[in-house]
A and B are shown apart, each in its own frame.
Chain A
Amino acid sequence: MKLAILIPAFNEEPTITKVIKAIPKKIVGISEKEIFIIDDGSEDRTGIIARNAGAMVLTHLVNQGVGAATITGLEAAKLYDADIAITIDADGQHDPKEIEKIVNLIVKKKYDVVIGSRLLQRKEMPKFKAFGNFLMNWVTYAIYGLWVKDSQSGFKGFSKKAVRELNLTCRGYEICSEIIGEINRNNLKFVEMPIKTIYTEYSKKRGQYPLNAVNIVLKLIIKLILK
């Protein structure tokens, strides 16, 4: 079985090597794996560092947003003919050791999508982020009709079928909600898996700002109207 690990990265010089090196060398059930860093127009040395750390770097010449980078990653997974694709954040907030659990759920339990849910440490999540997350869960439910406890998680696993069937277009963070919509539209079998979140000063500063929720909601509504 082939595994593609997709890491969208924008100016992640301080953490990218650590994230790549923390990915387990051997994963049960996986015979071949490739780490794809989607360097989303970084202005620092993210791409060079990632390449030196042994990853395959796909470079966006201009910053396009995390959604666009994720779509590029999923396209790469198709080209690589991966049986499983896993997305993970580049800021070090996820524990790559948990990749094995996701693989296990897709291989043994035959789930099409596994969503890493940061519920285990909701109390440790900065309050403003927790509020933004809660708000986005409801917005996602209102627009796409599927309730998930952590709709904005960047740690996800996809089966080959899911990679093939997801029709994603969003360029920014709204892609997280769009994925939930696509799970519902394609009737994909999914599960939420509690994950550990590593909150460092760096990872707390990265990711979405709560005010961005307004922007995401607007984009999702426009997308819905123009559909």
Chain B
Amino acid sequence: MLLVKILSLFFGVIVIAKTMTDFKKKEENWQVFLFWIIVWLGVIFVAFNPAIINEMVLKLSNRSITVGQIVGIGFVFMLYILYRVYVKAHRQEKQFSRLIRKIALMDLKSSKIVNKK
């Protein structure tokens, strides 16, 4: 569990520092800044107090949950997020490429070499 604590603290500090820098540079608005701060402070808090998840689940559903189940659910959730991010990035990349190509072919479309007839 020590490794989980170290990793969450390490990545949490990196993300929070990056968010703060972006906010200071006005590259992010305060809502996004606040969202990431809360999410990552939450991640660090849960990493240091894992029992809290069990207590919450117990209160909500009268069932207990193991660490393995938490990791499993987290992993599936991460895979879903990864898939969504990949699909979105891929779509953006394709649209960007199409735009770049359209601009590159603009001169040709108006040039004599394709308008000879």
Contacts and interface: CB of A to CB of B under 8 A. Distances in A.
Interface of A: 34, 36, 38, 56, 58-62, 64, 68, 71-72, 75-76, 79-81, 169, 171, 226
Contacts of B100: 60-62, 64, 68
Interface residues of B, number: 16
A81 B114 contact: yes
Contacts of A72: 101, 104-105
B111 interface: yes
Given A68-B97, A171-B97, A79 B104 contact: no
B103 interface: yes
Contact of B114 (A38, A68, A79, A171): A79
Contact of A64 (B97, B108, B109): B97
B34 to A, nearest CB: 33
B112 to A, nearest CB: 10
Contact of A61 (B103, B107, B108, B113): B103
Q: Is the interface of B mostly helix, strand, loop or mixed?
A: helix
Contacts of B107: 58
Contacts of B105: 58, 72, 75-76, 79
Of B96, B104, B113, B114, the most chain A CB neighbours within 10 A belong to B104
Interface string B84-117: 0000001001101100110111011101011000
A62 B111 CA distance: 22
Contacts of B104: 38, 58-61, 72
A143 B107 CA distance: 37
3 pairs of A and B residues whose beta carbons are closest in the complex: A58-B104, A72-B101, A79-B114
Nearest to A36: B108
Contacts of A61: 100, 103-104
Contacts of A38: 104
A74 B98 CA distance: 14
Given A68-B101, A75-B101, 20 more contacts: A34-B113, A36-B108, A38-B104, A56-B111, A56-B113, A58-B104, A58-B107, A58-B108, A61-B100, A61-B103, A64-B100, A71-B101, A72-B101, A76-B108, A79-B109, A80-B113, A80-B114, A81-B114, A171-B97, A226-B90
Contacts of A64: 97, 100
Contacts of A79: 105, 108-109, 114
A50 to B, nearest CB: 13
Nearest to B103: A61
A34 B90 CA distance: 33
A56 B101 contact: no
A79 B110 CA distance: 11
Contacts of A81: 114
A79 B108 CA distance: 8
Nearest to B101: A72
B50 to A, nearest CB: 34
